[in-house]
């Protein structure tokens, strides 16, 4: 399927897409202003739910894959919403109320996480790959890179620094090469590329927040592998944690990891084989071929909720299709919940604010020179790294570091 796509598709990227408001920090306003200078506003998708607000090329109805899986993705998002609202209401509220600038999606020709975010009503912005190196990414953000994840060397360096200073990075499939370049010595492309396949998976570490409620029913979901998906080879087994694996994947393609994560200084990385937006499935076991009602009931939905979904075509999709789509969507939601929670601790390190606009200096010495990219605006949050004779080495939420007079901090 991927081979059949025109190469030019990768260059068809949306204009800037603010899917909601929320500018609680002056840094957020600066980020939005910088993006608006780079890109014109996109037209709202006519199929986007009004409750998602604003602009986005994300389409809750989906644009990729079979019609059957598009329906499964839509219904899975409703099941996810109902389960989170009833069992994790505060966490659902947390990601729903987050500002659009807190989730940055990098567009790609082979995946569309923005459609998943639209379906679960999470605000976000969408940018083309070439903009990554030009925008001021913030440590409080989650950067979600659609396959293939082709960035310039400057963009790759920007991503590394973004994660180092606290950002979350989430990638899929061919973007594994981005990780190998940005974080050498952690993961790499391994084995032989997959076929258009579906494999059984095993969930590790049920206490890991990334996997919370991912397994909604007794049987584990099957994982769709796009044609020519890249197997994950773990280079540093001490630092890289396997979240989901597949023995079937290992036997066929040489390596078992399906989803892995690792910390890098203040930030975190999650990578998954295949895509955010699942486009196909394979139904082998009897319970997987059952009507969608079976999955909804097993996932704990009430009779009233099941009836409401049946009116939307629940029994036109199979239980296994819902299980696969739901699991990927829940992983995506869990990552965003974790980042919002981590931001509280991260912002706690930024205990100072700029009293006025300050130009960062290259050193704490008297003959220090101003940094070319070091303009810190009034009220920007600053993290003091160290102090020396009335000077302070600080870092702002954009990851920029430099020296200032301690008297300019409050």
pLDDT of amino acid 346: 95
Q: List domains and CATH numbers for the chain.
A: 7-347 (3.40.50.880), 352-408 (2.30.30.40)
Cis preceding linkage at 148, omega within 30: yes
DSSP state of 280: -
If the chain, 410 residues long, is cut into consecutive pieces of 10 residues, what is the mean pLDDT of each piece? 38 42 73 82 40 44 63 88 91 85 88 82 89 94 94 97 97 94 97 85 84 82 82 97 94 94 97 66 66 90 94 89 84 92 93 96 86 88 96 96 96
pLDDT of amino acid 42: 45
pLDDT of amino acid 325: 83
| Residues facing 269 on adjacent strands | 169, 262
Among candidate residues 73, 324, 290, the one with its CA nearest the CA of residue 200:
324
Question: In angstroms, rounded to a whole number, what is the distance separating the alpha carbons of residues 270 and 260?
Answer: 6
pLDDT of amino acid 37: 84
pLDDT of amino acid 352: 97
Question: In angstroms, rounded to a whole number, what is the distance separating the alpha carbons of residues 24 and 123?
Answer: 14
Question: In angstroms, rounded to a whole number, what is the distance separating the alpha carbons of residues 30 and 53?
Answer: 21
């Amino acid at each position: 399927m991927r081979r059949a796509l025109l190469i030019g598709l990768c260059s068809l990227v949306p204009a800037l897409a603010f899917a909601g408001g929320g500018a609680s920090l002056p840094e957020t306003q600066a980020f939005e202003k910088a993006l608006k200078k780079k890109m014109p506003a996109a037209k709202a998708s006519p199929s986007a739910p009004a409750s998602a607000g604003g602009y986005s090329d994300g389409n809750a109805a989906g644009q990729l894959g079979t019609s059957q899986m598009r329906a499964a993705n839509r219904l899975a998002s409703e099941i996810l919403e109902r389960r989170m609202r009833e069992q994790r209401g505060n966490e659902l509220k947390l990601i729903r109320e987050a500002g659009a600038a807190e989730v940055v999606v990098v567009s790609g020709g082979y995946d569309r996480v923005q459609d998943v975010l639209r379906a679960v009503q999470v605000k976000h912005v969408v940018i083309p790959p070439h903009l990554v190196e030009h925008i001021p990414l913030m440590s409080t953000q989650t950067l979600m890179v659609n396959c293939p994840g082709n960035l310039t060397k400057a963009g790759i360096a920007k991503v590394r620094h973004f994660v180092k200073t606290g950002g979350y990075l989430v990638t899929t499939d061919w973007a594994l090469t981005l990780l190998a370049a940005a974080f050498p010595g952690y993961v790499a492309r391994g084995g032989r590329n997959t076929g258009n396949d579906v494999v059984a998976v095993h969930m590790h570490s049920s206490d890991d927040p990334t996997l919370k409620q991912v397994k909604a029913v007794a049987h584990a979901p099957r994982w769709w592998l796009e044609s020519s998906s890249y197997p994950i080879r773990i280079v540093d087994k001490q630092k890289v944690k396997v979240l989901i694996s597949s023995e079937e994947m290992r036997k066929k393609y040489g390596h078992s990891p399906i989803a892995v994560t690792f910390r890098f200084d203040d930030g975190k990385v999650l990578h998954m084989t295949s895509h955010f937006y699942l486009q196909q499935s394979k139904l082998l076991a009897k319970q997987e071929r059952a009507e969608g009602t079976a999955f909804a009931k097993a996932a704990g939905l009430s009779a009233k909720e099941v009836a409401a979904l049946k009116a939307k075509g629940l029994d036109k999709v199979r239980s296994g299709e819902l299980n696969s789509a739901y699991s990927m969507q829940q992983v995506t939601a869990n990552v965003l919940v974790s980042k919002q929670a981590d931001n509280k601790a991260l912002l706690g390190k930024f205990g100072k604010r700029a009293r006025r606009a300050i130009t960062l200096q290259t050193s704490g010495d008297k003959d220090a020179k101003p940094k070319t990219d070091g303009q810190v605006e009034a009220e920007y949050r600053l993290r003091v790294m160290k102090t020396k004779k009335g000077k302070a080495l600080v870092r702002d939420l954009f990851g920029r570091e430099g020296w200032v007079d301690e008297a300019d901090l409050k």
